[in-house]
Amino acid sequence: MRGMVPPDPESGPSHLEYAVIYVPKRSRNRFPASCVDIKDSAADALDEADPEKKLFAARVSGPSKSSEGQYIYYLVEWLE
């Protein structure tokens, strides 16, 4: 994907994962690992999503290591 940091060779290849992301607004396309809770399936992510608590279900790619040394995930799509 354009604009993505390459995967970190120490952590292995990036994967597509389902997740619940804590984010104030859904206008961002990358998230620190501390805001991403990986789930086993899309159904699990949708079950645990709670927009009132700013928890949104998504499909993400990662982790990648940013230039600042943080692990980040990239948004692939929001799940509805």
Instruction: Work out the burial of residue 59: count CB atoms within 10 Å of its CB; fewer than 13 is exposed, 13-18 middle, 19 or more buried.
Output: middle
Please provide the DSSP assignment of 13-75 as one string. Answer: --EEEEEEEE-SSTT-SEEEGGGEEEESSHHHHHHH-BGGGTEEEEEEEEEEE-TTS-EEEEE
- List the domain boundaries for the chain: 15-78
Please write the tens of the pLDDT for every residue from 7-54: 555 556 678 999 999 999 889 899 999 999 999 999 999 999 999 999
Predicted structure pTM score: 0.82
| Residue from 30, 12, 13, 23 nearest 67 by CA | 30
